[in-house]
Chains A and B, each alone.
Chain A
């Protein structure tokens, strides 16, 4: 590998890592911080992508789709929380697994009934089309770089929300001892509803942003789900920076695994996860 392709592959790795963080960010909030095992995370991602497809067709622009889609996703998340998840905070993780697995099946079937089983594409905003030439054959799509920028902003925003705001403090306290927080006069129910809705909206946002560079297709959530859990677990449960570092690490493992050890490309990500967990059982930045 010459220096040029090494640099380009590094760019690929960072860019993919940031995309993984974007995809996993909603799960960081719901699973990492609220402590709910949410297997339906991939379905929220898929819902976002299909929302982008539908709203972009209707409004003519992905930006409008995002502006309209985020409140819709938040409402949807709040409703789900109020109807279903609220009953699960005090129950075992296995119950959460069952409920959220059931949701996957329901969402897939709804998608099939409402939109069908075809593969769709979403056009990207015109001003982000185009590519920056790297050399005479290869160029880099501007849209991918734009997504990376959004991911960085999102990571900083999430960190500030959780670590530096009063709301973040209440959320963290609530995940440790719900009853005590309630006894101190904080409306923990409302806070959890808001945070869950935010998590769903972030998953949907990831789906909407990724829609133009991936295909909007049945079962697209399944692939995202496993990687999202890997990112959160490698980074350390409950840590936003951990998830970011975990995502970048997985991005590097996947990209360079494909190039250097193509025979092992399929297991590289999981080998890295196993190695990290052997070394630090609570994840890179986890407190355990």
Chain B
């Protein structure tokens, strides 16, 4: 072999070594692909992958590979599914999920195995409360946040007496607690807290109760099919004009078309809205529509931001996912340039974010005002404060 070919061989070997040394991160996506929340799981996955694709398949200097599990929104299978990703697939980061019960089981696995975890939806207060941990982050919201922001809005309208209505499950009860906290602190009165068993949707007896109690307004937490039925029944019972209905934003997200006209004009609070006047949101919407041929929703934003948060962590350690401490420090200090408006992490690792007041118009929820600026969850029970 002559000198020339030796040079080439050494050069090729060097290139091969360099390619091998390029950093990698394995992301475990544990989201619902079937069942009631399948649509949400898809939106989150789309959002996450959109950011990765926009950056040429890299996050903060590491090339991204995925392992995926359909969590079926089944808490009974949650621990096993999370363990599969962590132990069998050896993922560096767990991303999930929609269902709070499943997310809490995942958080326990993440705490035990010290795997990084990013929650792109589940709103259970516990995840950044009693269950909070240095390696657990959330890019969505707590159930407390959107409804806490509604209290002052109603007080400002001169509303003093309110009846609340929700399903008797933890998301609903936590959302009502958030509303109650700010509303009663400002001098408002909760006349009655009505709850119905999940997922029962026979609202008629409650509507009769509300008509008898004659409060100034009604505040509710419902989502999906239940939200549609409530808005329709509420309007059909003639209550919409005499006793205005308010809710946490999930009431009117992805449900307005199905409500027909019954949702028109409903005021809700959420950490995302249509018609936000920021360049990041406009760019995100254009990019998402181009990639998936559909308009993004709040879930897609949360998935997108999960990828952004991970990128911030990886960038700080030059893509070396082994430097977990360094990543956690960077993620906790990161300022995420989200389509919802930029936000920082609270000490408990939940977004400190603006909550918007939105008014339903047709099929969308245009922003009316900022109901609460830079609202942080109180993170009760979290020791990282």
Contacts and interface: CB of A to CB of B under 8 A. Distances in A.
Interface string B184-207: 000000000011110111101111
A121 B237 contact: no
Contacts of A216: 225, 258
Q: Most chain-B CB neighbours within 10 Å: which of A144, A217, A256?
A: A217
Given A217-B224, A262-B194, A131 B211 contact: no
Highest count of chain A CB atoms <10 Å: which of B206, B236, B239: B236
B259 A138 contact: no
Contact of B242 (A136, A214, A259): A136
A259 B35 contact: no
A259 B205 contact: yes
Given A137-B214, A265-B196, A266-B168, A120 B258 contact: yes
Contact of B229 (A109, A215, A254): A215
Nearest to B223: A119
Interface residues of A, number: 47
Nearest to B38: A117
A8 interface: yes
Query: What's the dominant secondary structure at chain B's contact region?
Result: helix
A212 to B, nearest CB: 8
B36 interface: yes
Given A119-B228, A215-B258, A223-B200, A5 B36 contact: no
Given A9-B205, A138-B208, A266-B197, A121 B224 contact: no
A133 B236 CA distance: 10
The main secondary structure of chain A at its interface with chain B is mixed
Given A121-B260, A217-B228, A137 B243 contact: yes
Interface residues of B, number: 42
Nearest 7 pairs of A and B residues by beta carbon: A217-B225, A266-B197, A139-B238, A215-B228, A121-B258, A138-B211, A141-B236
27 contacts: A2-B212, A5-B208, A5-B211, A12-B204, A12-B205, A118-B258, A119-B224, A119-B225, A119-B255, A120-B257, A120-B258, A131-B237, A139-B237, A139-B238, A140-B237, A141-B237, A214-B229, A215-B258, A218-B35, A218-B225, A223-B199, A223-B200, A255-B204, A258-B202, A258-B205, A259-B208, A265-B196
Given A138-B211, A215-B224, A223-B200, 14 more contacts: A9-B205, A12-B208, A16-B204, A119-B258, A121-B257, A123-B260, A138-B239, A215-B225, A215-B232, A215-B255, A255-B205, A258-B196, A265-B195, A265-B197
Interface of A: 1-2, 4-5, 8-9, 12-13, 15-16, 109, 112, 116-121, 123, 131, 133, 135-141, 143-144, 213-220, 223, 254-256, 258-259, 262, 265-266
